[in-house]
Amino acid sequence: MTYLLTDHQYGKAETRLVRVIRDAARHELRDLNVTTAMRGAFDDAYLTGDQSAVLPTDTQKNTVYAFAKKHGVASPEAFGLALARHFVHDVAPIDGARIELEEYAWDRAIAGGREHDHTWVRRGPEVRTAAVTVDATGEYVIGGVKDLVLLKSTGSEFAGFLSDEYTTLPETHDRVMATAVIAKWRFSTVDVDWDAVFPVIRAHLIEQFATLQSLALQQTLWHMGTAVLDAVPEICEIRLKAPNKHHFVVDLAPFSMENPNEVFYAADRPYGLIEATIARDDAPPAGDAWKFSAGLA
């Protein structure tokens, strides 16, 4: 029997990095979780144990910290691009680099009625994500957000669905709809003001969720995705994943009480999982943009 090593990549997952800029009394802060993965002809490391082409994952971690000091963290996307370009262009055996970033957002603390200069409050659970791939075919950037937890207490329906002998779900024209959106959007260029577009995309996702009279989470995802593509020409594809966090109306009849959509049991599982990928018809090839490493971003 002959075996083939058909694919491989290696790197340091989840390097936690907090970068503070303290040149002025008002400090700035960025809080990241960075994963690096190297791609190339590292077959010998696996097949014979020869490490001569292997840049240690420890070195990759050090590079993350050194680059944070040297270049700063302008945005997750820009930081990922700087790292990926360095690994591919400056370290000979590396043909491709994949950098995945999570960013945890901090809001300035309010103290004495105004924003504090060096104290923040973690905004959660939402996480901004970025995944950068640089290889011989080009540079690819995917931005994203995950755990964007949204809930609307009306304006959502689910009716007219297919029914068979196992169907018990009642139709509804007024229900709670809640989800924790995972959205990833692929840029067709790296000439982007990353920090300017992120809040625009996020605002469109939220606005569509809020304002659409939703006939299903599927329809909501279509509207969220197309609104982002309409608003940001640099984005050519968006992938959305939405767990349908079911809120069941509690039967209060045993207690002689009506419950017109006021008291709910918020189930954590099982959940419907609704997914969609929406792309422009002229989207450029994705290369390895969607090939994951740790897969957190």
Ligand X SMILES: O=c1[nH]c(=O)c2[nH]c(=O)[nH]c2[nH]1
Least distance CB 226 / ligand X (angstroms):
17
Q: 272 or 284: whose CB is closer to ligand X?
A: 272
Does the protein bind ligand X through residue 169 (CB under 6 A)?
yes
Q: Site residues for ligand X, window 228-257 (CB under 6 A)? A: 244
Angle at 37 between CA 34 and CA 40, to 5 degrees: 160
Q: Which residues of 142-179 are buried (b: 16+ CB within 10 A; e: fewer)?
A: bbbbbebebebeebbbbeeeeeeeeeeeeeeeebbbbb
Q: 109 or 169: whose CB is closer to ligand X?
A: 169
Catalytic residue among 8, 27, 57, 277: 57
* C-alpha dihedral sign at 181, 182, 185, 190: positive
Q: Say how far apart CA 109 and CA 94 lie, in whole Å.
A: 43
The answer for residues whose C-beta is within 8 angstroms of residue 258's C-beta and 6 or more apart is 252
Is 58 annotated as ligand-binding? yes
The answer for residues whose C-beta is within 8 angstroms of residue 4's C-beta and 6 or more apart is none
Query: What phi and psi, each to the nearest 5 degrees, are found at residue 175?
Result: -140, 165
Is 123 annotated as ligand-binding? no
Does the protein bind ligand X through residue 209 (CB under 6 A)?
no
Instruction: Determine the size of the site formed for ligand X (CB under 6 A).
Output: 8
246 is catalytic: yes
Cβ–Cβ under 8 Å, residues 76 and 128: yes
12 is catalytic: yes
277 is catalytic: no
State the residue number with the nearest CB to ligand X: 217
> Which of 217, 224, 289, 294 touches ligand X by CB under 6 A?
217
Catalytic residue among 86, 245, 246, 291: 246
Report the candidate in 283, 286, 8 with the shortest Cα–Cα distance to residue 137.
286
List helix spans (H) across the chain: 43-47, 57-71, 76-90, 194-211, 217-231
- How large is the C-alpha radius of gyration of the chain? 23
Q: Could you give the string, one character per residue 129-168, with x where binding to ligand X holds by CB under 6 A and - elsewhere?
A: -----------------------------x----------
Q: Considering only 97-105, 182-190, 196-204, 215-223, which stretch makes contact with ligand X by CB under 6 A?
A: 215-223
Least distance CB 239 / ligand X (angstroms):
18
Binding positions for 5-hydroxyisourate: 57, 158, 175, 218, 244
Catalytic positions, please? 12, 57, 246
Residues marked as binding? 57-58, 158, 175, 218, 244
* Contact residues: ligand X, CB under 6 A: 158, 169, 216-218, 244, 272, 274
